Amino acid sequence: MLEAAWLIPALPLAGFMLLVLLGRRLGEPLAGWLATGMMALSFLATLVVFAGLLAEDEAHRFFIQTIFTWVPSGSFSVDVGFLVDPLSITMCLFITGVGTLIHLYSVGYMHGDPNFSKFFLYLNLFAASMLVLVLGDNLLMTFLGWEGVGACSYFLISFWFKEDANASAGKKAFVTNRIGDFGYMLGMFLLFNAIGSIRYADIITETQAGELSTGVATAAVMLFMLAAAGKSAQIPLFVWLPDAMAGPTPVSALIHAATMVTSGVFLLTRLNPVLAAADSWAPTTIAWIGAITALVAALAAVSQNDIKKVLAYSTVSQLGYLFLAVGVGGYVPAMFHMITHAFFKALLFLGSGSVIHGLHDEQDMRRMGGVARFMPITAMTFIVGWLAIAGVPPFSGFWSKDEILVYAYDANIGLWIIGLVTALLTAFYMTRQVILTFFGRTRFFDPTPEEINGAFVQAVLDAEAGATEAEAAVGPANEAVEKALADVTKREEALAAASVSFDEATAAVGASSEGEDGYDKLVKALTKAEKGIPKAEKALTKAREKHTEALAGLTEAEVGIDAARSKIAEAESDRSRAPRPAEYVTAASAAPDVEEFADRLPESYQHRQEYHPHESPWTMTMPLVVLAGLAAVAGGLNLPFTKDLHFLGHWLEPSLFGNEHHLSTSGQTKWVLAAIAIAVGLIAIVTAFGVYLRGRGNPAQIENKNFALAVTWDTALAAFMGGPGRKLFDVLSFLDKKVVDGAVEGVGTGVQSIGTNARKLQPGFVRQYSLLIVMASAVVGLFMLAVLWLGAS
């Protein structure tokens, strides 16, 4: 049955190839089902091999299957071969098992994505690479898988991120991983050189036989530690992981969290004889790096508001625990916690994905709350995951974490204290996450600050429009006044004219006498002029009235402007006084009271009121239920009560070659330690309940941004890579192009140009190049002569 080992990576690889060829034609959802089916078959194959391994004697649980000799003979050979032992099969079991669930979940989650089939193509390739990594029977096969998962991760980040973020996140992941890979390559060649083989079987035999010197072993451990730190996101190479996981899909986040990042820890466990042969400070360094990473990442997790970022930092922190365990020789606890972590972290990631899916892509926990009502299955399973990671007995996380803490205590009390503080923080931030997401009022429907702003923006705009209108009215009013005034003047003039003509007529009548010719005519004119005066007077009065009226209109318009202005001010002050959601949210935070202007909120708000948060489809909830079951009971794999219950410990024994650290801690101390761990966890949970559910205390003080050391480090690094790091490259190319040429130019002012054409074609360059060659030749020649003279003397 062991011969089926090659099928384990071959099946997902076949799935990958089929998807390359047919992916587009299959489309949704067939491509997803194909990939899922391949993973499920791979899981079956793993079960078969597992059964085969169980059937063997303990001493014979170390089986090598050689497919073909890959690297030629000569000084050494490398096979394409698989090493089947308890360690690799344990890894395979959870990679294929959890992997299958992730695939199944993705069928639901990626629904409607234009890159549906491509996503599954990467997922299958990723799984195949990961399986080659753990099954490889030599360092080179592991390296193949190592690079494979690295490339897949880079692609997943690069393809799904958009533009700017893509550039920096992808590069960050790549650069930090390359640093790790460099360590891997150096370590591999170092071991090859010392032992003459890179097969694990040879490395283990030779090292166990004491053939590897302490110095070489120490150097190798440090190099592989660098490699592992890159892949498993430890200080200082951890910055890429939160970005990669906060990235495009929770699913790709998850494959990082549950599988890829464990490969560093796996590698160190695989090489446990080398760790044992190294100077003791090397493993101790690993332990401290792990402890500090665990603490820093946990601090960073406390102040995150993005539901996935909390989990991302939490993953980094939990990996720190694994490093800590490996560093103090606790391989079994490391593997134990790796398995339980794979279950509960997968559960939490998938749960958060389900929440995001159900809440219309909302990722901010401040806008969640009360989700349990809409998504009972997601909530129940998430709570199981929370209890597991927070270390509440009897859930799985408690057992595995407690064991790591016991080992830490046994090695160094400082490590234990850091581990304990991290446990406290873990329980705290996870409780915060659960409360903010699932309990309390549903803040999802609350208007966002942008929407509230939007509502008042309309009011202000209305008031401003009124002001403009009023201002527009002033002009015509002014005109009317002027017109009326002009009319009045005209009428006054007419009146004056009428008076003059009356006087003239009177005088004319007085100068002539009755009976004269035209006398009657004059009298008639006089009468007429006499009649004109009241008429003109009447018109004048009318004009005056009109003028007054216009003046009143003008005043009215001016008043209107003032009113409009005060309306604007009123709207502005309304806007500034409007209730807003709190920056630091607890379940007790009240909703902003928007009743009075509810109908003015923008469309996005109105739409959301009609949106019904819903439970995810069965393809998504089924994996959740399965994982919740596993996360709850996986502690049973390795119970501490009696030796007989150390199932995992016994099972892994053939892979550890007696290098597992033997605890000197007494049983009683263990109980005390466990009690302290439980107490610390409960205190954290109760505190978090107090702060976030009951609303006591000020979350602003807890979510101190300064705690997010990791974020600081992250931005510092990003700034370096964007600034000085980039400049370093620029300086290099500058040196190559300008400085060297410039220096040459400077030295060579006396040198004539080689050909006039050279200058015509491109100023200087040929001349400078040739001068550079001549100068370098001179250096080379002098060097040779120096060698000779030194040799002679």
Considering the complex, what minimum distance in angstroms separates the CB of residue 258 from other proteins? 25
Q: Which of 82, 72, 159 is nearest to 128 (CA)?
A: 82
Q: Is 754 in the site for other proteins (CB under 8 A)?
A: yes
- Residue 609: its H or E element: helix 603-610
What minimum distance in Å lies between the beta carbon of 95 and other proteins?
A: 20
Stretch that binds other proteins, among 445-453, 635-643, 696-704, 733-741 (CB under 8 A): 733-741
Residue 368 neighbours by CB under 8 Å, 6+ apart: 307, 355, 359, 362, 436, 437, 438, 442, 443, 444
The torsion angles phi and psi of 641, rounded to 5 degrees, stand at -65, -55
Q: Which of residues 622-651 bind other proteins (CB under 8 A)?
A: none
Pick the closer one to other proteins by CB: 109 or 398: 109
Q: Which residues are 82's β-sheet partners?
A: 65, 136
Q: How far is the CB of 326 from other proteins (least distance, A)?
A: 25
Answer yes or no whether residue 783 interacts with other proteins by CB under 8 A. yes
Closest of 406, 242, 259 to residue 321, by C-alpha = 406
Long-range contacts, 637-641 (Cβ 8 Å, 24+): 637/336, 637/339, 637/340, 638/332, 638/336, 638/399, 638/400, 638/403, 639/399, 640/399, 640/402, 640/403, 640/670
Candidate segments 251-259, 446-454, 639-647, 773-781, binder of other proteins by CB under 8 A: 773-781
Q: Which stretch binds other proteins (CB under 8 A): 154-162, 256-264, 407-415, 497-505?
A: 154-162
User: Contact with other proteins (CB under 8 A): which of 22, 48, 155, 363?
Assistant: 155
Q: Rg of the chain over CA atoms, in angstroms?
A: 42
User: What residue has token string 């099954």?
Assistant: 135
> Which one of the spans 39-47, 94-102, 440-448, 757-765 is the region binding other proteins (CB under 8 A)?
757-765
Enumerate residues 6+ apart whose C-beta is below 8 A from 360: 608, 611, 613
Q: From residue 129 to residue 148, what is the string marking binding to other proteins with x (rule CB under 8 A)?
A: -----------x--xx--x-
Task: Check binding of 189 to other proteins (CB under 8 A).
Answer: yes
Look up tokens 């909302």; give the residue: 362
Nearest distance in Å: CB 651, other proteins:
31
* 11 vs 156 by CB, closer to other proteins: 156
Of 193 and 701, the one with the shorter C-beta distance to other proteins is 193
Look up residue 689 and give its DSSP letter: I
668: contact with other proteins by CB under 8 A: no
Residue 788 binding other proteins, by CB under 8 A: yes
Which of 62, 82, 126, 192 lies at the binding interface for other proteins (CB under 8 A)?
Answer: 192
Report how far residue 220's alpha carbon sits from residue 188's, in angstroms, rounded to the nearest whole number.
Answer: 8
Q: Is 70 in the site for other proteins (CB under 8 A)?
A: yes
Residue placing its CB nearer to other proteins in the complex, 592 or 764: 764
Question: Which DSSP letter does residue 220 get?
Answer: H
Per CB under 8 A, does 158 bind other proteins?
yes
1-14 burial string, b = 16+ CB within 10 Å, else e? ebebbbbbbbbbbb
Per-residue x/- marks for other proteins, 680-719, CB under 8 A?
A: ----------------------------------------
β-bridge partners, 81: 66
Q: What's the closest the beta carbon of residue 223 comes to other proteins, in angstroms?
A: 10
Question: Which tokens in the block code for residue 344?
Answer: 């509960």
CB of 746 to other proteins, least distance (A): 17
Q: Which residues of 89-123 are buried (b: 16+ CB within 10 A; e: fewer)?
A: bbbbbbbbbbbbbbbbbbbbbbeeeeebbbbbbbb
**708/771 with CB nearer other proteins:** 771
Binding mask 72-111 for other proteins (x = CB under 8 A): xxxxx-----------------------------------
Applying CB under 8 A, the span of 3-11, 182-190, 451-459, 502-510 interacting with other proteins comes to: 182-190
Given 114, 515, 667, 750, the residue binding other proteins (CB under 8 A): 114
Least distance in angstroms from the C-beta of 728 to other proteins: 9
From 154, 398, 456, 707, residue interacting with other proteins (rule: CB under 8 A): 154
Q: Does 71 bind other proteins (CB under 8 A)?
A: yes
Reduced to 3 states, what is the DSSP secondary structure of residue 572? helix
Tokens encoding 543: 């004009």
Q: Give how far Cα 286 sits from Cα of 175, 228, 263, 292, 653, Å.
A: 22, 10, 15, 10, 22
Q: Which residue type occupies 691?
A: V
Assess contact for 232 and 262: CB atoms under 8 A: yes
Which residues lie near other proteins (CB under 8 A)? 69-76, 114-115, 118, 140, 143-144, 147, 151, 154-155, 158-159, 170, 174-175, 178-179, 181-182, 185-186, 189, 192-193, 729-730, 732-733, 736, 740, 754-755, 757-758, 761-762, 765-766, 769-770, 772-774, 776-777, 780-781, 783-785, 787-788, 792
